[in-house]
C-alpha cells in the first residue's frame, strides 16, 4: 500500500522537547553530540514524562553501544537479529527515535528494525538554529559543514543486490548546501543527464535556505543540466519527500532509483522509508561525510513524525486513535 496524496502529512512541530506529548511507558532512543540541538534542555526529566531512555554512547562503522537502566549493551549494525534483540530488550508499546544526534549509518538500521517489529514509532528531529558559516565562503562552500568524505558504501542493512552499473537508473540527489558532495556523487555514479532528478527542500528550515542550496550546488547542476528536473519537498518533512519519490517513480516506470541522501536529515528519513517499502527498485547511495564537530549553532523547532500512521502499522494505529 502506498502513501497517497489524499492522506494527511503526519509531521507535527513543537517549540521544544518539553512541550511534546510523550506517551507513558515509551522508550526513547537518542544520542547527544557536541551540537547543542542534540542535547535536551536542562531540567527536562524523561522519567517524569513516563519515558525510558536508551542512550547511544558509542559507535563505529559497524557497531553501536547503548546504555539503558545502567546496563551497557553492544550490537552489530549489520545484524538484523542483534538490532531486534536490542529493541525488544524492554517491553514497550511506543518507541521514539531521536535522529538529531545520530549519523545515518546508526539510525537507519534502528529504523529498519522498528519497521520490522511493526511497532508504534515516532521519529524526532530538532532543526538547527543556524549553520556554521565558512570562514572563506565561495559559491559552493557557503557553510562549513564537513571535513571530508569517506566514500560511497552501503548504510548497514541497506546493501543492494541489484547491479550497480544500471545505465538507465534514475539518480535522485537530495540536495543540501555542499556542492562538492553532489559533484563527487555525480562523478562516482555517472548517471545519464536526463536521469538526474535533484530534490531541493522548499520551504526550507529558513526562508533563505533553498537559495543557498541552489547556489551551493550551482556548478554541478549547471554542468549536468540537472536543474531542469529539480523537484521540491518540504525540508523538514519526510512524508513530503516520500511523495515526491512516488511521483518520480510514476513518471519513470520500470526504472530503478538511486537516492543520495545528502541534504536534510528529514529528507534522508523519507528516503529510507521509501527504500524500505520499495527495496527491489531502490538503492541508497551515501558518501559518509565526516562532519565538523560544531557545524550548527543553537536549536529551533522540534519535528515529530508519526510513523505509526503509515503501513504496515497504519490500521491498528488509526483504530487506537479513534477509540480515544
pLDDT, residue 4, reads 54
Q: Name the helix (H) or strand (E) containing 176.
A: none
Could you tell me the residue ranges of all domains in the chain?
11-131+296-323, 146-291
Q: What is the CATH number of domain 146-291?
A: 3.40.50
The Cα-based distances of 156 to 23, 24, 169, 172, 287 in angstroms read 30, 31, 22, 20, 13
Alpha-carbon distance 292 to 274, whole Å? 28
What residue spans of 129-178 are helical by DSSP H?
none
Q: Which three cell numbers stand for residue 88?
A: 525488544
Place of cell 534542555: 41
Peptide bond into 203 cis (omega under 30): yes
Task: Write down the pLDDT at residue 314.
Answer: 53
Contacts of 45 (CB under 8 A, 6+ apart): none
Q: What percent of the chain has pLDDT over 90?
A: 65
- The pTM of this model reads 0.91
Q: How many residues does the chain have?
A: 324
Q: What pLDDT digit, counting tens, does each position of 74-110 carry?
A: 999 999 999 999 999 888 889 999 999 999 999 999 9
* Rounded Cα–Cα distance for residues 182 and 263 (Å): 10
Lowest mean pLDDT across 82-86, 157-161, 212-216, 298-302: 157-161
Residue 76: phi, psi to the nearest 5?
A: -80, 130
Predicted local distance difference test score (pLDDT) of residue 68:
92
- Where is 188: in which H helix or E strand? helix 179-189
Q: Cell digits for 184?
A: 563527487
Amino acid at each position: 500500500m502506498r502513501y497517497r496524496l489524499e492522506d494527511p502529512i503526519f509531521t507535527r512541530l513543537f517549540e521544544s522537547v518539553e512541550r511534546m506529548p510523550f506517551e507513558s511507558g515509551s522508550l526513547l532512543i537518542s544520542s547527544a553530540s557536541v551540537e547543542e540541538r542534540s542535547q535536551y534542555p536542562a531540567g527536562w526529566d524523561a522519567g517524569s514524562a513516563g519515558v525510558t531512555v536508551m542512550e547511544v554512547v558509542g559507535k563505529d562503522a559497524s557497531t553501536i553501544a547503548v546504555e539503558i537502566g545502567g546496563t551497557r549493551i553492544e550490537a552489530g549494525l549489520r545484524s538484523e537479529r542483534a538490532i531486534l534483540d536490542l529493541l525488544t530488550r524492554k517491553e514497550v508499546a511506543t518507541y521514539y527515535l531521536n535522529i538529531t544526534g545520530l549519523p545515518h549509518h546508526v539510525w537507519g538500521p534502528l529504523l529498519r528494525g522498528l519497521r520490522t517489529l511493526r511497532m508504534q514509532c515516532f521519529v524526532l528531529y530538532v532543526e538547527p538554529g543556524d549553520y556554521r558559516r565558512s570562514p572563506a565562503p565561495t559559491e559552493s562552500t557557503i557553510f562549513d559543514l564537513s571535513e571530508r568524505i569517506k566514500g560511497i558504501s552501503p548504510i548497514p542493512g541497506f546493501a543492494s543486490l541489484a547491479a550497480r552499473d544500471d545505465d538507465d537508473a534514475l539518480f535522485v540527489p537530495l540536495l543540501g548546501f555542499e556542492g562538492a558532495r553532489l559533484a563527487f556523487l555525480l562523478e562516482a555514479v555517472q548517471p545519464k543527464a536526463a536521469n538526474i532528478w535533484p530534490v531541493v527542500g522548499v520551504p526550507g528550515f529558513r526562508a533563505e535556505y533553498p537559495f543557498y542550496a541552489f547556489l551551493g550546488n550551482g556548478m554541478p547542476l549547471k554542468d549536468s543540466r540537472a536543474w531542469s528536473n529539480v523537484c521540491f519537498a518540504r525540508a523538514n518533512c519526510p512524508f513530503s519527500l516520500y511523495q515526491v519519490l512516488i511521483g518520480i517513480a510514476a513518471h519513470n516506470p520500470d526504472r530503478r532509483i538511486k537516492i543520495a541522501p545528502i541534504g536534510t536529515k528529514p529528507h534522508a528519513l523519507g528516503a529510507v522509508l521509501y527504500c524500505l517499502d520499495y527495496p527491489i527498485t531502490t538503492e541508497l547511495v551515501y558518501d559518509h561525510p565526516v562532519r565538523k564537530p560544531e557545524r550548527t549553532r543553537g536549536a529551533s523547532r522540534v519535528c515529530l513524525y508519526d510513523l505509526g500512521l503509515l503501513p504496515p502499522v497504519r490500521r491498528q494505529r488509526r483504530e487506537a486513535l479513534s477509540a480515544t
